[in-house]
């Protein structure tokens, strides 16, 4: 008798266990179903992006004879024209980043010192170009910088130089255009990291006798470095893959990696060379973004404010 | 003025006067950021062959030239169609994905999120030639469908991030309450959650539209023929010469972008 009671009690425990397990399973299924909501988006990204890029990765290791080879990568090291392109890309990206830091950092500092309302108003100046078409902005610079353009006209009018100088269709024009387009990408993360700095630290520093300049350099500046670092990295990365602005403002004199990739496909139908360049660009981009993401949330950039 | 210049500007003892250089510098930066784009607008109304500022004689001849050109018109309509369709597809797909990722908290959800935002991180030229290759196989090259699908992929990360962050600050218990009162999940989402994240959804739709409308590089490779986009045609025209027609088209593009921004601000204004 006693045994029977025990076993029925056991059964009951079993049942409730099973019940719980069933619930758990149901919850699991539901979550899976919810995750299924991602599948259309995921499928599309797979077809249009992941699979083709994977294929490019594969093609980059195939030589002209159809066998596995590293010749596409060796070409980058051996051929002078390729070395030149890699160098130019690097040069343009570094210079643009430096210009953006020199202009963007003080401006972000200015924004961070303003009362909220005024800062938001001034932020419009940053966000307005951010939302304007890249092509339109590049075109605007082309018009402004051309030989008979506004910049030459005004500079001559003010006596800065005597006759029209060439400021577009070369490196100068490219750098001006790219810095203009990249500035918001530096200003926004730097500004948001400056906003997060506790003002009391500065108060403390000046209470302890630091001059304003010293308080800035020893307290404020180091605290703003992570934002500056992330912003610079992002600008640098975006510059590496730039296409439109150097193509239009460089006038064929500034050839960057992405332009070479395009011409490899459009003119020479050389998938091997194009994909190898692409893989190098991709690996660099992902690695640098990964580093940047450790300092600032990348999503914040898109939200703008 | 004198008084203001001598007054302290921050927590440290620096005065506005000592900071004057910063204010002037920042003013110049703001002008440099905004002016180059805006200056195109008056220039587009110039009557001369060369773009001047300020124009000596005003005219709308470049607009007439634009409006009377079948190629430019067809490109404009392609771009508008592609952008509208991209927005219509990317927004629901992105919102679905954001909701799915938010509610199903699997460990690998994070991985899927990263996968879905890769289009934002991969250099555009790579996406362009990759899509070009696949489209040749799928016979989607130079079709509107192909263009819209590629632009949808580019727009998805923005929708996902904007909507996702709205969901994060939304209290899911409200939806739970609706469901415990008998509403099926989809109904609870549509009637309770969606209205509350609508500003994010509208912003997403707008961003998706602009992503497609402004995109150059991918369009250069996979759009063409009757389905060439406005940006593709503009880019090709820019390589050859400085055609003042582009100034009028740029002005139209600026107008479209600004109008959309204003619409989103007005619609979002009802939030509070």
**Mean pLDDT across B219-223:** 93
Q: Are residues B135 and B25 in the same domain?
A: no
Cα distance between residue A191 and residue B240, in whole Å: 39
A76: tokens are 């980058």
Q: Please, what is the end-to-end C-alpha distance for chain B in angstroms?
A: 38
Residues B119-160: tens digit of each pLDDT:
988 999 999 999 999 999 999 999 999 999 999 999 999 999
Residues A194-251: tens digit of each pLDDT:
998 998 998 899 889 888 889 999 999 999 998 899 899 999 999 999 999 999 999 8
Q: Are residues B11 and B119 in the same domain?
A: no
A182: tokens are 């990249």
Q: Is the dihedral of CA B237, A149, A182, A285 positive or negative?
A: positive
Residue A10 banded pLDDT, cuts 50, 70, 90: low
In contact, A140 and B250? CB cutoff 8 Å: yes
Q: Are residues B83 and B23 in the same domain?
A: no
Cα distance between residue B174 and residue B189, in whole Å: 10
B271 within a domain of the structure (yes/no): no
B234 within a domain of the structure (yes/no): yes
Indicate the SS3 state at residue B249. helix
Q: Looking at the predicted structure, is the pLDDT value of residue A112 above 60?
A: yes
**Mean pLDDT across B84-96:** 97
**Mean pLDDT across B55-82:** 92
Q: Looking at the predicted structure, is the pLDDT value of residue B19 above 70?
A: yes
Only one residue has tokens 């025990």, namely A6
Q: Are residues B13 and B83 in the same domain?
A: no
Whether B100 contacts chain A with CB within 8 A:
yes
Q: Looking at the predicted structure, is the pLDDT value of residue A132 above 80?
A: yes
Indicate the SS3 state at residue B46. strand
Q: What percent of chain B has pLDDT over 90?
A: 60
Whether A281 contacts chain B with CB within 8 A:
yes
**Mean pLDDT across A104-123:** 92
Confidence at residue A15, expressed as pLDDT on a 0 to 100 scale: 59
Instruction: Give the closest residue to A205 by CA, choosing from A227, A222, A191.
Output: A222
Does A134 sit within 8 Å of B134, measured CB to CB? no
| Chain B residue nearest residue A179, CA to CA | B33
Does A52 sit within 8 Å of B134, measured CB to CB? yes
Task: Pick from A133, A181, A219, A285 the residue to mutate for testing the B interface (most B CBs within 10 Å).
Answer: A133
Domain locations in chain A as residue ranges? 2-50, 78-303
Cα distance between residue B200 and residue B194, in whole Å: 10
B38 within a domain of the structure (yes/no): no
Confidence at residue B272, expressed as pLDDT on a 0 to 100 scale: 35
Whether B257 contacts chain A with CB within 8 A:
yes
ω into residue B54 within 30 of 0, thus cis? yes
Confidence at residue A304, expressed as pLDDT on a 0 to 100 scale: 37
In contact, A48 and B150? CB cutoff 8 Å: yes
In contact, A253 and A167? CB cutoff 8 Å: no
Task: Pick from A30, A38, A243 the residue to mutate for testing the B interface (most B CBs within 10 Å).
Answer: A38
Q: ipTM score here?
A: 0.88
Alpha-carbon distance B139 to nearest alpha carbon in chain A (angstroms)? 13
| Chain A residue nearest residue B112, CA to CA | A42
A118-132, A207-221, B87-101: range with highest mean pLDDT: B87-101
Q: Looking at the predicted structure, is the pLDDT value of residue A279 above 70?
A: yes
Cα distance between residue A226 and residue B191, in whole Å: 42
Confidence at residue A7, expressed as pLDDT on a 0 to 100 scale: 53
B49 within a domain of the structure (yes/no): no
| Chain B residue nearest residue A181, CA to CA | B33
Which residues on A lie below 8 Å from B221 (Cβ)? 262, 265
B192 within a domain of the structure (yes/no): yes
Confidence at residue A251, expressed as pLDDT on a 0 to 100 scale: 85
Chain A and chain B share a number of CB contacts under 8 A equal to 262
Cα distance between residue A18 and residue B55, in whole Å: 82
Cα distance between residue B186 and residue A278, in whole Å: 42
Greater model confidence, A147 or B96:
B96
In contact, B87 and B212? CB cutoff 8 Å: yes
Confidence at residue A298, expressed as pLDDT on a 0 to 100 scale: 60
Q: Who's near A195: CB < 8 A, 6+ residues apart?
A: A112
**Mean pLDDT across B219-225:** 91
Whether A251 contacts chain B with CB within 8 A:
no
Backbone angles phi, psi at B58, to 5 degrees: -90, 145
A167: tokens are 């400021």
Residues A27-74: tens digit of each pLDDT:
888 888 888 899 999 999 999 999 999 999 999 998 888 888 888 898
Whether A300 contacts chain B with CB within 8 A:
no
- The DSSP string of B99-127 is HHHHHS--TTHHHHHHHHHHHHHS-HHHH
In contact, B223 and B148? CB cutoff 8 Å: no
In contact, B30 and B240? CB cutoff 8 Å: no
Region of residue A304 (phi > 0: left; psi between -120 and 50: alpha; otherwise: beta): left
Cα distance between residue B79 and residue B252, in whole Å: 13
Window B:133-192, CB contacts with A under 8 Å: 133-134, 149-150, 152-153, 156-158, 160-162, 165
Greater model confidence, A3 or A31:
A31
Containing domain of residue B5, as a range?
1-31
Q: Are residues B85 and B18 in the same domain?
A: no
Q: What does pLDDT average to over chain B?
A: 89
- The DSSP string of chain B is -HHHHHSB-SSSS-BTTTTHHHHHHHHHHHHHHHHHHHTHHHHTTB-SSS--SS-SSB--HHHHHHHH-HHHHHHHHHHHHHHHHHHHHHHHHHHHHHHHHHHS--TTHHHHHHHHHHHHHS-HHHHHHHHHHHHHHHT-TT-HHHHHHHHHHHHHHHHHHHHHHHHHTS-THHHHHHHHTT--HHHHIIIIIHHHTHHHHHHHHHHHHHHHHH--HHHHHH--GGG--HHHHHHHHHHH---HHHHHHHHHHHHHHHHHHHHHHHHHHTT-
Among the listed ranges A17-26, A54-63, A70-79, B64-73, which one has the minimum average pLDDT value?
A17-26
Confidence at residue B271, expressed as pLDDT on a 0 to 100 scale: 43
Q: Are residues B127 and B229 in the same domain?
A: yes
Q: Looking at the predicted structure, is the pLDDT value of residue B163 above 90?
A: yes
Q: Looking at the predicted structure, is the pLDDT value of residue B259 above 80?
A: yes
In contact, A107 and A189? CB cutoff 8 Å: no
Nearest to B253 among A38, A133, A205 (CB): A133
Confidence at residue A101, expressed as pLDDT on a 0 to 100 scale: 97
| Half-sphere exposure of residue A207: CA atoms within 13 angstroms, side-chain side | 7
CATH number of domain containing B90: 1.10.3720.10
In contact, B33 and B20? CB cutoff 8 Å: no
Backbone angles phi, psi at A47, to 5 degrees: -70, -45
Q: Are residues B90 and B191 in the same domain?
A: yes
Q: Are residues B84 and B216 in the same domain?
A: yes
Greater model confidence, A183 or A2:
A183
**Mean pLDDT across A125-145:** 89
Confidence at residue A302, expressed as pLDDT on a 0 to 100 scale: 46
B19 within a domain of the structure (yes/no): yes
Residue B3 banded pLDDT, cuts 50, 70, 90: confident
Q: Are residues B87 and B212 in the same domain?
A: yes
| Half-sphere exposure of residue B261: CA atoms within 13 angstroms, side-chain side | 13
Overall CATH class of domain A78-303: mainly alpha
B111: tokens are 């991985």
Indicate the SS3 state at residue B50. coil
Q: Are residues B104 and B198 in the same domain?
A: yes
Could you count the other beta carbons within 10 Å of the beta carbon of residue B105? 11
Q: B8 - beta bridge partners? A: B15
B63 within a domain of the structure (yes/no): no
Q: Are residues B10 and B113 in the same domain?
A: no
Q: Specify the number of domains making up chain B.
A: 2
B36 within a domain of the structure (yes/no): no
Confidence at residue A2, expressed as pLDDT on a 0 to 100 scale: 45
Q: What percent of chain A has pLDDT over 90?
A: 47
Confidence at residue B213, expressed as pLDDT on a 0 to 100 scale: 94
Q: Are residues B101 and B155 in the same domain?
A: yes
Which residues on B lie below 8 Å from A254 (Cβ)? none
Instruction: Give the closest residue to A188 by CA, choosing from A223, A226, A227, A222.
Output: A227
**Mean pLDDT across A272-285:** 92
Q: Looking at the predicted structure, is the pLDDT value of residue B65 above 60?
A: yes
Whether A135 contacts chain B with CB within 8 A:
yes
């Amino acid at each position: 008798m006693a045994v029977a009671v025990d076993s029925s009690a056991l059964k009951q425990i079993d049942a409730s266990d099973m019940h719980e397990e069933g619930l758990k399973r149901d919850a699991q299924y539901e979550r899976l179903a919810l995750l299924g909501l991602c599948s259309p988006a995921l499928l599309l990204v797979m077809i249009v992006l992941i699979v083709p890029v994977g294929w490019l990765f594969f093609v980059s290791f195939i030589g002209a004879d159809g066998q596995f080879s590293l010749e596409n990568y060796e070409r980058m090291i051996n051929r002078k024209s390729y070395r030149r392109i890699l160098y130019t890309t690097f040069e343009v990206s570094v210079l643009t980043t430096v210009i953006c830091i020199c202009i963007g950092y003080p401006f972000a500092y200015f924004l961070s010192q303003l009362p909220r309302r005024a800062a938001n108003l001034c932020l419009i100046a940053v966000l307005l170009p951010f939302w304007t078409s890249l092509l339109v902005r590049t075109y605007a610079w082309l018009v402004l910088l051309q030989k008979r353009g506004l910049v030459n006209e005004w500079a001559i009018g003010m006596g800065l130089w005597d006759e029209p100088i060439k400021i577009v269709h070369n490196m100068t024009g490219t750098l001006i255009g790219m810095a203009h387009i990249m500035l918001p990408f530096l200003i926004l993360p730097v500004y948001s990291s400056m906003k997060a700095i506790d003002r009391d630290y500065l108060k403390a520093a000046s209470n302890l006798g630091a001059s304003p300049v010293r308080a800035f350099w020893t307290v404020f500046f180091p605290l703003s470095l992570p934002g500056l670092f992330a912003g610079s990295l992002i600008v640098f990365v975006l510059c590496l893959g730039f296409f439109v602005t150097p193509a239009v403002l460089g006038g064929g004199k500034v050839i960057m990696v992405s332009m070479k990739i395009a011409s490899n496909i459009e003119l020479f139908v050389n998938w091997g060379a194009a994909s190898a360049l692409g893989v190098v660009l991709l690996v660099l981009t992902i690695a640098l973004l990964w580093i940047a993401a450790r300092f600032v949330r990348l999503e914040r950039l898109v939200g703008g404010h | 003025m004198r008084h203001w210049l001598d007054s302290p500007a921050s927590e440290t003892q620096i005065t506005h006067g000592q900071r004057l250089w910063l204010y002037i510098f920042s003013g110049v930066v703001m002008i440099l950021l905004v002016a180059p784009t805006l200056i195109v607008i008056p220039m587009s109304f110039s009557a001369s062959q060369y773009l001047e500022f300020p124009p000596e004689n005003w005219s709308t001849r470049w607009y007439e030239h634009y409006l009377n050109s079948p190629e430019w018109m067809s490109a404009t309509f392609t771009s508008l169609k592609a952008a509208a369709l991209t927005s219509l597809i990317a927004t629901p797909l992105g919102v679905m994905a954001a909701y799915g990722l938010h509610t199903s908290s699997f460990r690998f959800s994070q991985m899927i999120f990263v996968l879905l935002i890769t289009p934002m991180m991969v250099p555009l030229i790579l996406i362009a030639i990759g899509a070009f290759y696949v489209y040749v196989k799928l016979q989607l090259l130079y079709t509107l469908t192909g263009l819209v699908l590629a632009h949808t992929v580019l727009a998805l990360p923005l929708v996902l991030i904007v909507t996702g962050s709205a969901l994060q600050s939304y209290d899911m218990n409200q939806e739970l309450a609706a469901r415990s009162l008998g509403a099926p999940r989809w109904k609870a989402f549509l009637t309770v959650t969606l209205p509350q994240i609508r500003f994010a959804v509208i912003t997403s739709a707008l961003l998706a539209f602009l992503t497609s409308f402004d995109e150059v590089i991918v369009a250069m490779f996979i759009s063409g023929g009757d389905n060439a986009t406005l940006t593709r045609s503009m880019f090709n025209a820019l390589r050859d010469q400085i055609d003042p027609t582009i100034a009028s088209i740029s002005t139209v593009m600026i107008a479209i972008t600004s109008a959309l921004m204003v619409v989103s601000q007005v619609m979002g204004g009802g939030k509070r």
